[in-house]
A and B are shown apart, each in its own frame.
Chain A
Amino acid sequence: MVDREALRETVSEHVDPGTSVLLSGPVHGGQLGLCFDVLTAGHTTSTGFLFVSTDLRSAAVVDAFGDRVPDFATSQCRVVDARGDRSGPFGETSEAVASVSSPSDLTGIGIEVIRGISALRGRKRTDVRLGIHSLSTLVEYLDPKTVFKFLHTLTGRCAATDISCLATLNEPIHDAQVVNLIASIFDVHVQIREVDDGFQLRILGMGTGPTRWMPVGDLG
């Protein structure tokens, strides 16, 4: 059994500035917890977090960073709340949160990503890391072709500006073709699956073929 801290280290080893990582697995497979774990791994005072959320409330995103970063200040994180109508009549907006109208508002997400990066870098947070949760919602709202092109453009910009990018996918709800298509964009693919006695994880895309399936505990 690989414990959570060991897993965080194993995955983080493959993440450099500019690297893109897909974390896929079933609901409760722990890919979201792992996403936050890896985003915050090895953080310093120059690390800034940007998070595009189509599913999670902004307050929950901020808390997830706060739980993992001692002396966390909201000024080191920016959330792009792209839940749209589902965020209720009072779309959350604050210094750390910007809202866009819908998960399908790609230009709106793009504008807020640009603003977020420039706000963080303006505060000397030069090591910016981007999280996205969840690609499944984008696929729900948009054609897989559009999602593919959007992600390619976004990860391309991130790679060119040394921003690592981690995104989650609720894998079992998509057919294999969509999963393969989305995975092809990312440098590294961390895949979680459910087996009889819990969850297993493997890592693909390091040029050496997939790792073996490792049993993992609760990833939160």
Chain B
Amino acid sequence: MSGRGQPVVLIVEDEAAVATAYRRMLESEYAVRLAANGTEALEKLGDDVDVVLLDRMMPGLQGEEVLSVIRDRGIDCRVAMVTAVEPDLDIVEMGFDAYVQKPPTPTQLRETVRDLLARTEYTTELQEYYAAESKRAALDARDFEEISESREYGELESQIVTLKATLDRSADDLTDDMTFLTVLRSLESDEREEA
């Protein structure tokens, strides 16, 4: 994931005219990179890429193969499949985070990217919430009265309330199957990284 600056979007599309059209739709908000096929995509795929728009049908390496390399390498990015075929739950099971039906309108494409980046926000908020709850759990386990009455503990509690309220607002997004599974997938990938 890129730290600061514009989020990076990698467009993998074999038709140059289509790729250029996508770039125009996104370049005002994002740093856009293009790859003309799967092999090139894997070369251009660094840790700084946030979102990959992956054409399903390409000569050479297919979209699904590129995806499985991305997941195997443990690159923490969101991948949307761009497909002319009506997609179903299989796409979720393949490990894609979203799909875009061809040909997308500029609004659809921008919304997909925005939505995928928002899921990263949820996992960031969840990490902050975890850190705060974990601190409180540790203090509670020590069970000293002076701790629970201290000013720091009070501040921690109000921080937890704020973080929880923020997360609860995002909970509605989890009713979307793909969003829910994207979060679970990223938890698993974090777990593997730390193991």
Contacts and interface: CB of A to CB of B under 8 A. Distances in A.
B130 to A, nearest CB: 5
Contact of A176 (B89, B126, B133, B141): B141
A219 B75 CA distance: 48
B187 A181 contact: no
Contacts of A153: 126, 174, 180, 183-184, 187
A106 B134 contact: no
Interface stretch (B12-20, B49-57, B79-87, B164-172): B164-172
Interface string A113-149: 0110000000000000000000000000011011011
Q: Which of B89, B167, B184 has the most CB of A within 10 A?
A: B184
Interface in B158-195: 167-168, 170-172, 174-175, 177, 180-181, 183-185, 187-188, 190-191, 194
The winner among A109, A143, A157 for most chain B CB atoms within 10 A is A157
A104 interface: yes
A193 interface: no
A111 B93 contact: yes
6 smallest beta-carbon distances between A and B, as pairs = A180-B137, A176-B141, A156-B171, A181-B137, A157-B174, A177-B141
Contacts of A148: 130, 133-134
B130 A145 contact: yes
Given A111-B93, A143-B191, A159-B171, A180 B141 contact: yes
A212 B46 CA distance: 56
Classify chain B: how many residues form its interface, as a range. Answer: 20 to 34
B171 A114 contact: no
A45 interface: no
Interface of A: 104-107, 109-111, 114-115, 142-143, 145-146, 148-150, 152-153, 156-157, 159-161, 175-178, 180-181, 184
Label chain B's interface by main secondary structure: helix
Contacts of B177: 114
Contacts of A160: 171-172, 174-175
B21 interface: no
Contacts of A178: 137
Contacts of B140: 176-177, 180
Nearest to B140: A180
Given A142-B191, A156-B171, A160-B174, A181 B92 contact: no
Nearest to B92: A111
Contacts of A177: 134, 137-138, 140-141
A176 B175 CA distance: 32
Given A114-B180, A160-B172, A160-B175, A145 B134 contact: yes
Contacts of B126: 149, 152-153
Contacts of B136: 180, 184
B180 A157 contact: yes
Interface string B60-89: 000000000000000000000000000001
Nearest to B123: A149
A156 B168 contact: yes
Given A157-B171, A161-B175, A180-B140, A146 B184 contact: no
A107 B181 contact: yes
25 contacts: A104-B191, A105-B188, A106-B184, A107-B188, A109-B184, A110-B180, A110-B184, A111-B181, A114-B177, A114-B180, A145-B134, A150-B184, A152-B130, A152-B167, A156-B170, A156-B171, A157-B171, A160-B172, A160-B174, A161-B175, A176-B141, A177-B138, A177-B141, A181-B133, A181-B134
A19 to B, nearest CB: 14
Contact of A146 (B89, B93, B190): B190
